[in-house]
Amino acid sequence: MKKGTILAIIAIVILAIIAGVTGATLNINIEQDKYNASIEYSEETQPALVEDDKGEVVEEESIPTVEEVDGGKFEDATTGVSVVEGEYDDLGWSEWYPTDTPQAFKNATLGKCIIANNIYGAQCVSLARVYWWSYANRDVSTCGTGMAKGMMNCADQNAGNDFEVYWKDSAWSIQAGDWLVFDGGQYGHVGMALGPVTNGYVALLGENQGGGACQGGGAATNIINISVKNLIGYYRPKAYVKPAPAPEPEPAPEPTPAPAPERSCERWSVKKGDTMGAIMKACEGKIEWGEAMNRYADSWVSEKTGLTVYYGWTHGTGYGLFAGDTIVKK
């Protein structure tokens, strides 16, 4: 056999070996992608607001900002289906975590690999599944899709009497404890909000979103700051519904000023039968006739004529007092 032919055969064998190795490696990567989420991180960090154990919202640092997560796959290892009928404990196993507050659930699950009997390991739906069991004593459903984003396809079933349902147009009212369901990619994502939305991002507790790798697939529970652009809707546990704030008290009306007395010694409403003598007696405590009375009458001015009572006496207009007129002391 010629030397060139031998070299050609060797080259083909080498290429076949390389192709085989490459193919094996590719198969391994494909197999891993069945379990691990695809995460699109943001180039710009956004502030992550988290409600602490005291219920106060604080900004947490070192939380990665994420645009999209795709990896919420679910299939029950016992039944082999994506929808579980009947009670959760019919499956013969359970995991329970405290749900008294969102913070209690976060503290109990953070950093853990929670499989929840999922064929695909620690997926985001696995974490939602143990929450539904711990809080509502029943299972959550992906509505036959096997995908996290399918959880909103049967919202009434998943909500039952235990949750309130909101949709994307209510993203502004998200609070700690809400379970957010996202579209995006093939499977979507689900996780629990840890605070309000700020700048279009929300701190999210979830699995398979960049945490530590878990045996059996997926990734441990961690916290990311995720964009709400792909939000489909969310579930709010009724135990976390906050009472409506008390309405602001209406300001007390301005007090109505008391009407000026009709018959004071500064302003006298004249009635039939009034005389200057009676007015003088009421205001001065005595009656003085003659020049003193004339001066007193000259100190009262009619609002109707603009003239004094004394002027009325001395210019042929009667006594200067008219019933229905008002005189003012000058």
HSE-CB for 204 with a 13 A CA cutoff: 33
What pLDDT sits at residue 325? 86
What pLDDT sits at residue 80? 62
Q: Which residues of 43-72 are buried (b: 16+ CB within 10 A; e: fewer)?
A: eeebebbbbeeeeeeeeeeebbbbebbbbb
User: pLDDT: is 90 or 153 the higher one?
Assistant: 153
For 35-240, which CATH class? alpha beta
Question: 């050609």: which residue's tokens?
Answer: 8
What pLDDT sits at residue 264? 84
How far apart, in whole angstroms, are the C-alpha atoms of residue 281 and residue 284? 5
User: What tens digit of pLDDT does each residue of 257-270 get?
Assistant: 766 567 788 888 88
Written as six digits, the tokens of 150 are 């399918």
Mean per-residue pLDDT, 242-263: 76
In this predicted structure, which of 8-22, 49-63, 109-123 has the lowest mean pLDDT? 8-22
Mean per-residue pLDDT, 43-72: 92
**Which pairs count as long-range contacts for 86-90, CB under 8 Å and 24+ apart, including other chains?**
87/137, 87/138, 87/139, 88/132, 88/133, 88/137, 88/138, 88/139, 89/133, 89/137
User: What tens digit of pLDDT does each residue of 78-104 get?
Assistant: 766 554 444 444 444 568 899 999 999
Q: Taking the domains of the chain in order of start, what are their residue ranges?
A: 35-240, 267-329
User: pLDDT: is 95 or 241 the higher one?
Assistant: 241
Distance of CA 234 to the CA centre of its chain: 12
User: Containing H/E element for 277?
Assistant: helix 276-284
What pLDDT sits at residue 58? 93
User: What tens digit of pLDDT does each residue of 3-12 get?
Assistant: 444 444 444 3
